[in-house]
Amino acid sequence: MQKGQFELELWISDDASTDQSPALIQKWVETHFPQAHLLLRDKNGGVAFNWLDTISRARGAYIALCEGDDFWTDPNKLQRQIQALEFEPEAQLCWHEVEVLEQGVIRRFPYAPLPQERSGIKEAILNHSIPTCSMVFRNRQNWEWPNFFFEAFSIDVLVQLEVLRHGYALKISGKPAVYRQHPGGVSKQANRFWLAALNRLEMLCQFDTHTKGEYRTFIRAYVLRESALLWKFKELPRFSMRRLRLAQFHFFGNNPQTWREKKTWFYALFFPEWYDMFLVWRQKIRG
């Protein structure tokens, strides 16, 4: 349905679906878009591999994303975004707010959208606010993906960060796309909350290593904020691998340097009641 002054190069990649998706895709392409490029994989490579391999094959000046569950609702969506990027050469990505559809009900996007018209990698790190189905970004055509990208849980976030290393993001008005959620989607997997939260912390730490600490101030601020919040969850077992991983993330975010700072961090995190009592006692001693 998209209209505009551009040629559309369409890539459809099916990651070895076990249902009738490949046949449906082929039928749709034959009827509506015979020149589309099909990637019907024989072996499942995983979400990250499917994403990155498909993006790397694109040859157009811009890349727009529309995953299987999502859909666009405005025929001028791509034209508006391309014009915005053409008008501002320093911008690397253009996005917009979206509607969320779940079992026939429209509701708000689960993350607070960035209010400003222009935002950079700092905002992308501190907030998860750019919907995947809204993204249009410049194609570098020589993408070099670090190995840890292929193991990421939220590959869309890492691609955003990699793009925004080279410029800023533009926000256009309106909600010309729908992010659809349903009980069978990835976001509804059992145990998804903890899996997503811990993996986001992990991938940001890896991104920090990948960028040699260039954005460490922002990454540490996010990691400390999120790990401190997750630490307070009552259902988190006192002795568990999750708590151990959170402690490691909290240590990275807090960044204690001296032995005294490390000791204070340890007691404040693991024995907060005792540490508070110690502070009260010390205050009384000092008079």
Query: What is the domain partition of the chain in residue ranges?
Result: 11-188, 192-286
Report pLDDT for 187.
57
Taking domain 11-188, whether its CATH number is 3.40.50.720 is answered by no
Report pLDDT for 80.
97
How many Å apart are CA 15 and CA 33, to the nearest integer? 20
Residue-wise pLDDT for 151-192, tens only, equals 888 899 999 999 999 999 999 999 999 998 877 655 555 567
Give pLDDT < 50 ranges for the chain: none
Alpha helices in the chain (DSSP H): 21-32, 47-57, 77-87, 121-126, 155-164, 192-210, 216-231, 241-254, 259-270, 272-286
Report pLDDT for 31.
96
Q: Is 136 helix (H, G, I), strand (E, B) or coil?
A: strand
Q: What is the total residue count of the chain?
A: 287
